[in-house]
Amino acid sequence: MLKSFVASAPNGRVLLVDSITKVAPEDKGAHVVSASHGGASSGEFALETPLASVFFNDAGVGKNRAGILALDMLQARGVAAGAISHETGCIGDSQDMWDNGVISHANALAVAAGLKPGLRVKDALLSLISASGRS
């Protein structure tokens, strides 16, 4: 099960986890790419540790937006969150999501930070943590 920091820059660090359940208190403030679905249970795990942002797999979105409910939960708690298309990133494989994933959905906080649908998650997060003038 992968858990590794893949990027670090003056404005943050990016953590890959195959399961959102692997995020721990020492990961506080990280930008996380999780290969878990973005459902309510994943949102609950993501809220246990204060994160800068978190991305999930959209799992095809599903009935009543079940695969991306975490985005709304995180928005309500002030956390930027998004989902990567299941067609571009494999559920359960955060390295594949990092290498190939395209953002399919994002909450308003993520969009405001430049983490917008249609962008490759890797490019968007690297740009965000490397941007000058951010803290």
DSSP H or E segment with residue 131? none
Three-state DSSP class for 105?
strand
Structural element, H or E, at residue 46: helix 40-46
Counting Cα atoms < 13 Å in the Cβ hemisphere of 127 gives 10
Nearest to 55 by CA among 28, 78, 36, 76: 36
**pTM given for the model:** 0.93
Q: How far apart are the first and last CA of the chain?
A: 31
Contact criterion met (CB below 8 Å) for 72 and 61: no
As a whole number of angstroms, the distance between CA 103 and CA 124 comes to 9
**pLDDT, tens digit (0-9, with 9 covering 90-100), for 28-64:** 999 999 999 999 999 999 999 999 999 999 999 999 9
| pLDDT, tens digit (0-9, with 9 covering 90-100), for 105-131 | 999 999 999 999 999 999 999 999 997
